[in-house]
Structure 1
Amino acid sequence: MLKKRLLTIGACVAALTIGASPALANDGYNLWLAPAASPSGANVRVIGQSETLERAAGELRRDLGASPLPIILAKIDDPALSTLRLPTAGLGEEGYIVRATSLDGHPALIVTGKTDRAVLYGAFALIRAQKTGANLAAIDLQSAPKIGLRVLNHWDNLDGSVERGYAGQSLWDWWTLPDFKDPRYTDYARANAALGINGIVLNNVNAKPESLTAPYIAKAAALADVFRPWGIRVYLSARFSAPIELGHLKTADPLDPEVQAWWKAKADEIYREIPDFGGFLVKANSEGQPGPRDYHRSHADGANMLAAAVAPHGGIVMWRAFVYAETDPDDRAKQAYTEFHPLDGKFADNVLVQVKNGAIDFQPREPFHPLFGAMPKTPMMLELQLTKEYLGFATHLAYLGPLFEEVLDADTQAKGKGSTVAKVVDGSLYGHRLSGIAGVANVGRDRDWSGSTFNQANWYAFGRLAWDPTLSAEKIAREWAQQTFGTDPLVVDTAVRMMMSSREAVVDYTGPFGLAHLMGTGHHYGPGPWISDLARPEWNPVYYHKADKAGIGFDRTKTGSNAIAQYEPAVARMLADPRTTPESELLWFHHLPWGWKMKSGRTLWEEMVAHYDRGVATVAQMQADWQTVKDKVDAERWQKTASYLQIQHNEAKWWRDASLAYWMSVNGLPLPSGVAAPEHDLAWYKAQEFPLAPGHPH
């Protein structure tokens, strides 16, 4: 089957290239910023002078269709707008007002806010409104971001590779920076500004010390110059041991005065080159990275040392809570809480603790991380993954809006019902000044930026939810489709239907009911639930599913690891009983017999098989749906999507067949009547190897 699958991939690539002209009609480069079919040269007047205001005017002239009114861009305190008495409460530094009104007796469309970047965001909101059907003659928009720091984390390496990147090499050409500023950097900034993203971490959290040397600071400064007019600050991932590797000190102990002085001097050096530098992101004492625990210090000690270095410049530190160690024999899902919960209130006031959405690692489905709501004195920054490390790489259609919405809407019950993760992250639950959300970027040098057209929607959904976590994933999918494909109802409805079913399909064919970490080793490509021979227990899929003849699932109740005790009591009580645990997370929290009766009346085994089959069938339905719009979508994007859907269908069957073959080898149960057997035996699936899969360090 695999040979056939690889041949199909080759055929798909050939279909994309044979007969292609040097310049494609639509290769996806424009993202959701595709210009209007007939740019009107909108009548735009700018009051005030700044590079950012000129960018805003340029966007309107470029992308806006015909406007019934002249458009005026100005900051809200400009005397020209004083007679309008516009409401400013709640706008903050980035909120905007877009309103059709009358100015000096003449009809006009006003785009305003307290700052230049607020006006820029308002201009993009006006364009988005028009492209999604708004009547500009009666428009009245007012919006401000609910989360302060809206940041993309690039896992880009200095050699041009991207860890877990599936859209080609790094967007940053470090070799030619700072002298050559690729025009793509500006286009990238435009796309982010259109979503309200205001920060970019340039380099991988598995950081190299060289990123903090003078030549690379100059390169980062060149990117900062490009991004600044678009309201975007740059950040750097910092390697904790840099004082040893760059400063030739004998230690990186955060309480050592020489180490503290080294970091202060380094921060001063960076701010001389980048006055609006945002600060540092740090991965410490995780997966072999150095950190404060190497010196018997706490994560707070390490974070506060760096925070002190950037504080005089207004910088912040984002300290990742993704930690697990082979020296800790406890459930890996518990380790971040165990290390960080006792440190609540001990972090400096310019530190955010950055927490992944779940306690393991960006799995297709995880329960919300127990740290959310558990550290009321510490700003918590949610980390989401846009690049689909565990959701089919770039070739599987998996719209992540529902995943993001699922975690943001999850109720921690930390202060009673309604204490959602979103309210923790936006700072409102505990009144924090700092608030933040981060997305691991899915951007590369591919012409369509993200490896496929539909992958762009995950970037888009992150940006929109970062601005307003209360938006619905379906609403976001619809406005993305309208801006990306046009307003034909059949195309938009089809795209939205495909998107809204896609993530659940991946969950179904890779691991239903909270099964997780079932993928192949290292590259994380394809199924490997049988893997049990890796050096560290928590690297092995068998560690997570614990399948045996009697049952399957990880017991995280008090009879097992008791990870449920890390949640608030009301949540823990619900999770303690498999009958009240959501079935979508059942095997994450419970080890249950294969014959356990599900709500459907079927046994757990029967229901698992049904979900694997449903996942494959959903992909087949997406293929059929996409076929109906063949004549309504440009040939380039339609064909690439169709080719990738075929790859996804083949790989969904591969996941389904390999998984069922393994589960049957463990439980000794037959497939339910009428269910197709796996195409190959288990030995065949185990023999497949993929040493050069993309996105994995080689």
Structure 2
Amino acid sequence: MRIRLFYFVLIFSFLVSIHLQAEDGYRLWLRYDEIKDTQKLDTYRASITSWIIEGSSPTLKVAGDELNMGLKGLLGEPIPSVNTIEEEGVLLVGTPSSSPLIASLNLDEQLRGLPEEGFIITRTSANGHSTMVIAANGEVGVLYGTYHFLKLLQTHQDIDKLSVKSAPDVQHRILNHWDNLDRTVERGYAGFSLWDWHKLPDFIDPRYIDYARANASVGINGTVITSVNANALILTPAYMEKAAALADVFRPYGLKVYLTARFSAPVEIGGLETADPLDPAVQKWWKDKVDEIYTYIPDFGGFLVKANSEGQPGPQDYGRNHAEGANMLADAVAEHGGIVMWRAFVYSEEVPDDRAKQAYDEFKPLDGSFRDNVMVQVKNGAIDFQPREPFHPLFGAMPQTPLMMEFQITQEYLGQATHLVYLAPFFEEVLQADTYAQGEGSTVAKVIDGSLHNYQLTGVAGVANIGTDRNWTGHHFGQANWYAFGRLTWDMGLSSEAIAEEWIGMTFTNEEGAMKTIKSMMLNSHEAVVNYMTPLGLHHIMGPGHHYGPGPWVKEMSRPDWTSVYYHRADEEGIGFDRTASGSNAVAQYFPPVAEKFSNLQQCPDKYLLWFHHLDWDYKMKSDQILWDEIAYHYQAGVDTVRQMQESWNSLESEVDEERFKHVQAFLEIQKKEAVWWKDACLSYFQTFSDRPIPEGVEKPEQSLEYYQSQRFPFAPGIRPRW
């Protein structure tokens, strides 16, 4: 019996050790494994012989812990912490106020003008020795600089002549979690919510700390922990105590907590008969509630609000406008330094006009009416996070109101978490789009960073793709979109290629050939998914409710603008939504040079063609193909790209650990099958209107149209609950 027990313990211990070493993706890009390039390793070891952090605050402590862990892992040996500089190769970290050593180095010129989150990394002489310094005016800047330095080591960069000066382009870089109090996640595809409300505040899951580390490592400084379809219970003492426990964990990492405010909370939990924002009793209720929140969370960031959209309560219920609603909340948080992020995602079934026009029509007249601590949060496009949309016409149109970009990191309309879709190229495409608000060069990025209109308040939000899956994001490559969002909100001038190289080097490999292969997959992936789902400006043709899979035939919904036929408008004459002067004239919401470009068939980019124009099936494209054939070839190109991605990934079997290799391999097979499904279902349906043959070179559909229309997915993940 004892022998059996001994062998059981031995086998169990072996299995546990294997599990602990498993490459399951949990470490994200913070993988501090020993550097394999021996030449680089020797160089780094010679350059970094010890390190110093002076100061004992919580933020400096986590910076020191991260530096110690990172150096020990990457260099394969402990790097001692010292108190004085008595040799070459000391890494000195801190602020002039926390570190007498840094204060003595006369770095005033380099630090001048840097915000507290900014940092410098430089070489200088200290006590007669060459010393590398990570310095900042604020302690969070020190932490950001520490992560940046570790990233340089992870990606095998030269550190001998470092001269880095970095500061964020926008002030508020925030993740929006669409997490409900029952731990479901709206449009979430990576498991349940990280926030275990039932066990909070007494049990602090270690994942909360690793979540904060990951965000700090890419410069994200805020998190909205509840869904925009808000539940007023989050504002009750029992839940504020739980939110405060999360805020305590996040604070040392520079990560502020924000909450979503349900506009009808004064009625639902306050006992009032109205939530009218101009009612003095309502104003007092919100002021008292905000004062209470700050007793729990002294650095509470403020509110994110979805109002009068998709059935959510709002100021229009009382005959008031969005500015009056936002200003009431802004006044309540102002004395505490809080902000209000008021979403511009509004549309009403009572408005018969083009849905794409409604946000502009409601918000443009309110420009200049909002309090100074309000940002209007605008989605990247005017419909709803489609695989591709032209930039929202509100960008550039509200010079007196700070506009905050809202991107979607979670892949609601992009195959969800089983499709490899690297979103940085799309984010970059939107940010670099020219609004012409003040002439050529008035990019969306310049609107968002405040430089175009001199905004004093700036921000970018991203709808998170994070859940309880061991690898955080469902798909291992989904991590790259979380990473890319953080990097682009810090520096909107970064290229999607440069970000991909960083992430690959930190997450998979720095080997040149493998990196080139993975990077090519990533950079081509977004265009692939647009091609096999919504080419040439088609949009909103997915399945209803869950938004999973193709559904161009969807027409029986409770409101027209939830259907697919509302958007593609396919008939025997052609396909596409006419948004020119002969149609809805939504194009007129853009500044004249942009409106003229999108209206003119010769100038309109092919990628937006059917977004702005309804064209005949035989319309001659720039490629000399007729429109029907061009659509079909794009669908086929999307499928072919996924197959190429499969071949590329399979070639990396010896370069990637077995666990992650097989996981991605399996997901690519799912993606290939679903790309074919999208192609076949959409072409089968649209062919009933075009009455033209599938062109040569495009694979014929595998099933009948009736088969595709019969598919049902009642338990697809990410469905928005209907309470």
Residues 100 and 139 in structure 1, CA contact (< 8 A), matched pair in contact too: yes
Paired letter, 2:453: Y
Please say if 1:61 is aligned against 2:58: no
RMSD over aligned Cα, in angstroms?
Answer: 1.6
Name which of structure 1's ranges 596-605 and 260-269 shifts more when overlaid on structure 2: 596-605
Moved more, 538-547 or 664-673: 664-673
Residue 440 of structure 2 aligns to which amino acid in structure 1? K
Contact 2:116-2:139 at 8 Å conserved across structures:
no
Question: Pick from 11, 20, 45: which aligns with 2:52?
Answer: 45
2:335 alignment partner, SS class: helix
Residues in 1 aligned to 2:49 and 2:356: alpha-carbon distance in whole angstroms? 54
1:354 is the counterpart of 2:351? no
Tell me, which stretches of 5 or more residues in structure 2 are unaligned? 1-14, 36-40, 80-87
Query: 2:409 corresponds to which letter in structure 1?
Result: L
Question: Tell me, what secondary structure is at the counterpart of 1:84?
Answer: coil
3-state DSSP of counterpart to 2:341: strand
| 2: CA distance, partners of 1:422 / 1:478 | 22
Aligned residues: 681
Correspondent of 1:231 among 249, 254, 266? 254
Within 5 Å, which residues of 2 pair with 1:435-584? 435-584=458-607
Specify which of 105, 108, 113 is matched with residue 83 of structure 1.
105
| Higher relative contact order, structure no. (Cα contacts within 8 Å, ≥ 6 residues apart) | 1
Q: Is residue 353–residue 381 contact of structure 1 (8 Å, CA) maintained in 2? A: yes
* Equivalent position to 1:32, from 14, 24, 29: 29
Deviation at 1:42, TM superposition (A): 6.3
How far residue 335 of structure 1 moved from its aligned partner, in angstroms, is: 0.3
Residues 672/300 of structure 1: CA separation in 2 closer, same or farther (3 Å cut): same
Q: Alpha-carbon deviation of 1:133?
A: 2.1
Secondary structure of the structure 2 residue equivalent to 1:32: coil
Letter in 1 for 2:27: N
Question: Is residue 24–residue 636 contact of structure 1 (8 Å, CA) maintained in 2?
Answer: no
Q: 2:455 aligns with which of 429, 432, 455?
A: 432
1:654 aligns with 2:677: yes
1:210 match: 233
Instruction: Report the alpha carbon displacement of residue 21 of structure 1 after superposing the two structures with TM.
Output: 5.9
Within-5 A mapping of 1:406-421: 406-421=429-444
SS of residue paired to 2:134: strand
Which residue of structure 1 aligns with residue 637 of structure 2? Answer: 614
Q: Does structure 2 conserve the Cα–Cα contact (< 8 Å) formed by 1:252 and 1:259?
A: yes
Give the Cα–Cα distance (whole angstroms) in 2 for the partners of residues 76 and 656 of structure 1: 60
Q: TM-score, with normalisation over the residues of structure 2?
A: 0.93
Structure 2 residue identity aligned to 1:32: W
Q: CA deviation at 1:103?
A: 1.2
Aligned runs of 1:140-179 on 2, under 5 Å?
140-179=163-202
TM-score (norm 1): 0.96
Structure 1, 426-435 or 70-79: larger mean CA deviation: 70-79
Residue deviations 1:454-485 (CA, integer Å, cap 9, x gap): 00000000000000001000110111000001
Q: Which moved more, 1:136-145 or 1:300-309?
A: 136-145
Q: Which amino acid aligns with 2:519?
A: V
Range that drifts further, 69-78 or 416-425: 69-78
The residue type equivalent to 2:25 in the other structure is: G
Q: Relative to 1, partners in 2 of residues 1:619 and 1:19: Cα closer, same or farther, differing over 3 Å?
A: farther
Deviation at 1:240, TM superposition (A): 0.4
Change over 3 Å in CA distance of 1:309–1:42 after alignment to 2 = farther
| C-alpha deviation, 1:490, in angstroms | 2.0
CA contact (8 A) 2:636 2:699 kept: no
Shift of 1:25: 1.8
Provide the rounded CA distance (Å) in 2 between the counterparts of 1:591 and 1:72: 63
Q: Distance in 1 between matches of 2:293 and 2:437?
A: 39
Matched-pair contact (CA < 8 Å) for 1:205–1:281: yes
**Whole-Å separation in 2 of the counterparts to 1:90 and 1:552:** 54
Q: Which amino acid aligns with 1:654?
A: W
Q: What is the SS of the residue equivalent to 1:427? A: coil
CA distance, structure 1, for counterparts of residue 227 and residue 698 of structure 2: 45
Quote the Cα distance in structure 2 between the aligned partners of 1:114 and 1:102: 20
Residue 73 (1) aligns with residue 93 (2): yes
> Matches of 1:20 and 1:556 in 2, distance apart?
60
> Where does structure 1 lack aligned partners over 5 or more consecutive residues?
1-17
Q: Please show how residues 115-134 of structure 1 align to structure 2 within 5 Å.
A: 115-134=138-157
- Deviation readout 1:188-229 (Å, 9 max, x if unpaired): 000000000000000000010101110110111000000000
Indicate the residue corresponding to 1:697 in structure 2. Answer: 720
4+ long deviations beyond 4 Å: 18-24, 38-42
Q: How does 1:593-612 map to 2 (within 5 A)?
A: 593-612=616-635
Q: Distance in 1 between matches of 2:664 and 2:33?
A: 23
For 2:161 and 2:381, the matched residues in 1 are separated by: 43
Say if 1:53 and 1:448 are closer, same or farther in 2 by CA, change over 3 A. Answer: same
> How many Å apart are 1:581 and its aligned residue?
0.7
